[in-house]
Amino acid sequence: MRPPLDRIALISDVHGNLTALEAVLDDIEARGITRIFNLGDYVGKGPRGREVIEVCRERCEVNILGNWDDFLPDPDRTFDTPTKAFAWWLEQLSPGQGAWLRALPFSHDFLLSGRRVRLYHASSGTVHHRVRFDHDEAEFLSMFANTPATGDGPEPTVVGYGDTHDAYYEVDRDRRTLFNTGSVGNSMDDPTPVYVILEGVYGSEAEAPFSIQFVRVPYDVQAELAVAREMGMPEYAGYESEILHGVYRGEMNEPGGPGYHRRPRETAPAEAPTDPHSGKRRRSTVHRPAKSPRHAGCPIATVVAVTSFPAAARRVRDTDLDLLRRMHMLRGVARFLV
């Protein structure tokens, strides 16, 4: 008889949105889940970084470093926004909180149902490198590599990360599994907070049932915006755009609105057709899509979505300083796309 399955809630990218965090924590508690791991980015963008840190230090068993947690309280940082928003967000923190953020561990490894799971914020080498959903094979494989940041030891077979504010799940034919938790406090395109539930036998090397579930939790976004206004938070319009409409602040003023969500594919010239009379190749302006990169040794890239909520293919914009978009396929237990 197999041992009972354990459940772990994974949250990430709260970004000072205390209202969203409280809603997600209420949902986690209602499900009877007591273990919570946080993949970073507690502060910035939203108004209540101090309170978010206080709650996460109390409620989260594991807290991991994010890119905002690293650069915002960096005493050597010399850049800011024109509105001095970084300085404002930093001033909201209590004494010692900045040092606590920068001292957080880079990653966290554990066993679950015979799978070696590794969690970190953005990439295997640094919190400041972004890996989007539509990556190539080299980036996919790099997420499972040991680096000076992750340390040595057995390489993981399952990797979970945050940073991009885009929840997705992906596997290859060697059973390597990569997933993104999405964002609790600043989810793009569908602005509803999202978190992940891992289920399996914790600490076990023996194979057992294993699952990854994505959960979306509605919350009172207008109450959160009211707090931001009352506190006089700079960059309010950008915050409203992101948490109310799911539109990244860097795109909210684009003429015609944000464009298509996936990065353009490269095209390759099609082979010119042969003239049936002369036998010579004719000039042609027809283009065909370039061949897609192989995925971890597979002839096609396979993306699998396992979710607890129905959703159509959706737009997801990266956060912070990045305007490139990504796409996420959801609906159903599994969908395979070339």
Instruction: With CA atoms as reference, report the closest residue to 68 among 43, 103, 97.
Output: 43
Domain membership of residue 167 (yes or no) is yes
Domain membership of residue 277 (yes or no) is no
Distances (CA, A) of 229 to 42, 244, 246: 20, 14, 19
User: What is the number of structural domains in the chain?
Assistant: 1
Q: Is the dihedral of CA 143, 146, 149, 151 positive or negative?
A: positive
Residue 212 to residue 115: CA distance in whole angstroms: 13
Instruction: Write the Ramachandran bin of 189: left for phi over 0, alpha for psi from -120 to 50, otherwise beta.
Output: left
Count Cβ atoms below 10 Å from residue 293 Cβ, excluding itself: 12
Residue 325 predicted with pLDDT over 80: no
Domain membership of residue 218 (yes or no) is yes
Domain membership of residue 112 (yes or no) is yes
Average pLDDT over residues 120-129: 97
User: How many Cα atoms occupy the beta-carbon half-sphere of 302 within 13 Å?
Assistant: 13
What does the chain come to in residues?
Answer: 338
Residue 329 predicted with pLDDT over 60: no
Average pLDDT over residues 263-284: 51
- 143 near 124, Cβ under 8 Å? yes
Pair of tokens at residue 53: 């840190």
Pair of tokens at residue 280: 């010579």
Domain membership of residue 91 (yes or no) is yes
Structural element, H or E, at residue 89: helix 85-91
pLDDT recorded at residue 304: 34
Confidence of residue 3 (pLDDT cuts 50, 70, 90): confident
Confidence of residue 267 (pLDDT cuts 50, 70, 90): low
Residue 284 predicted with pLDDT over 50: no
Instruction: With CA atoms as reference, report the closest residue to 94 among 115, 73, 111.
Output: 73
Average pLDDT over residues 141-154: 96
Structural domain for 241, as ranges:
6-253+300-328
Its pTM surpasses 0.85: no
Strand order in the sheet with 194-200: 62-63, 35-38, 6-11, 194-200, 211-216
Confidence of residue 266 (pLDDT cuts 50, 70, 90): low
Residue 103 predicted with pLDDT over 60: yes
pLDDT recorded at residue 184: 98
Average pLDDT over residues 261-268: 60
For the chain, percent of residues with pLDDT exceeding 70: 75
CATH code, domain carrying 35: 3.60.21.10
Domain membership of residue 267 (yes or no) is no
Confidence of residue 276 (pLDDT cuts 50, 70, 90): very low
Domain membership of residue 335 (yes or no) is no
Domain membership of residue 102 (yes or no) is yes
DSSP line for 272-303? PPBPTTT-PBPP---EEEPPPPPBTTBSS--B
Q: Mean pLDDT for the chain?
A: 82
Confidence of residue 292 (pLDDT cuts 50, 70, 90): very low
